[in-house]
């Protein structure tokens, strides 16, 4: 189950030779994660709210994808953005993150999400586009309720959302080194500082932790081990979404009953593959499997 409370309608302009192309897709962190999980052959249910004209388009497009959708319809608008990539760069022309969830809509979404999460072996908690849309306390309650009832929870969050799920208990936490620094959890991007931050997150309640580091090897914290995760070198087409694919790969393996090291390898491979593509949360399972065999895990001796 993937919790994506406020998905986006994404509109992108692309230049192909002499032709301008318009691409319209559902998006947002949870949508991209669900897409990758499905691409890896794992059934996935996406729990969302949709509203307004943008929400109508998002819902129609979601049901056409290889996921099960549980959508709560609301009066207020879903989020959207318009990006221009005609010159090869991504320029934002306009955007609206969506409107905050009202109490009734949130209660309905929570009930549906809890139901689907209890049915699923693994639940993924994805963040909203804007922190004003959903109270972090909702994430803490979901993490606590699902974990207390035997579910595994994977979270890819930052800021108060990260704090909420860590303190409630989460099976696997993925976070970037930039987010740790921005949240004041790491002094800088040195390995020593990140190792201290990773261990602190485990001490606070995270079962395993994976810290992505842009072009540098990721760091994983599994039980009492600190592991350096080296991805195969690939040329970047678009760096966006690599972290979402990484957490999706982890969740897919855990849902199949795989162990944590296999989950980390697959997550690293999915993240590496994503940067070679312009579609976020996309990629073929066979390519991820091939790349996973090229991911190296080396235990570090960091005191």
Reference 106, options 23, 240, 5; nearest CA is: 5
In this structure, are strands 152-156 and 206-213 parallel, antiparallel, or unpaired? unpaired
- Alpha-carbon separation of residue 59 from 9, 25, 54, 124, 164 (angstroms): 9, 10, 9, 20, 29
What's the confidence (pLDDT) of residue 272? 85
Residue 266 in tokens: 């697959």
Backbone angles phi, psi at 51, to 5 degrees: -160, 155
What's the confidence (pLDDT) of residue 303? 45
What's the confidence (pLDDT) of residue 277? 55
Number of Cβ atoms within 10 Å of the Cβ of 20: 11
What's the confidence (pLDDT) of residue 182? 95
Reference 87, options 23, 11, 13, 10; nearest CA is: 13
What's the confidence (pLDDT) of residue 88? 84
CATH 3.40.1190.20 for the 3-300 domain, yes or no:
yes
Cβ 258 vs Cβ 292: under 8 Å: no
- Alpha-carbon separation of residue 40 from 37, 44, 45, 112, 255 (angstroms): 5, 10, 14, 24, 11
Report mean pLDDT in 10-residue bins for the chain, 303 residues: 96 92 94 93 96 94 91 93 92 94 95 97 93 94 96 95 93 96 95 95 95 90 94 66 87 96 94 66 77 91 54
The whole model's pTM is what? 0.91
What's the confidence (pLDDT) of residue 281? 47
């Amino acid at each position: 189950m993937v919790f994506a409370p406020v998905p986006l309608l994404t509109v992108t302009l692309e230049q192909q030779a002499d032709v301008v192309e318009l691409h319209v897709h559902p998006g947002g962190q949870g949508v991209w994660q669900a897409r990758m999980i499905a691409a890896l052959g794992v059934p996935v249910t996406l729990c969302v709210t949709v509203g307004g004209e943008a929400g109508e388009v998002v819902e129609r497009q979601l049901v056409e994808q290889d996921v099960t959708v549980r959508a709560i319809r609301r009066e207020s608008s879903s989020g959207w953005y318009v990006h221009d990539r005609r010159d090869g760069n991504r320029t934002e022309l306009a955007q609206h993150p969506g409107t905050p969830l009202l109490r009734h809509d949130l209660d309905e979404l929570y009930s549906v999400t809890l139901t689907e999460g209890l049915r699923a072996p693994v639940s993924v908690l994805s963040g909203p586009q804007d922190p004003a849309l959903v109270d972090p306390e909702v994430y803490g309650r979901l993490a606590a309720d699902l974990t207390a009832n035997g579910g595994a929870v994977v979270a890819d969050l930052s800021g108060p959302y990260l704090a909420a799920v860590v303190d409630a208990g989460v099976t696997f936490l993925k976070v970037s080194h930039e987010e740790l620094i921005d949240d004041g959890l790491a002094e800088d991007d040195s390995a020593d500082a990140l190792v201290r931050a990773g261990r602190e997150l485990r001490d606070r309640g995270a079962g395993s932790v994976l810290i992505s580091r842009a072009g540098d090897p990721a760091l994983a914290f599994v039980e009492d081990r600190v592991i350096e995760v080296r991805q195969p070198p690939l040329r970047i087409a678009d760096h966006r979404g690599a972290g979402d694919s990484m957490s999706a790969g982890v969740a897919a393996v855990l849902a199949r009953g795989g162990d944590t090291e296999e989950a980390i390898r697959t997550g690293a491979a999915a993240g590496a593959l994503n940067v070679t593509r312009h579609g976020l949360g996309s990629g073929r399972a066979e390519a991820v499997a091939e790349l996973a065999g090229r991911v190296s895990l080396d235990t570090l001796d960091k005191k």
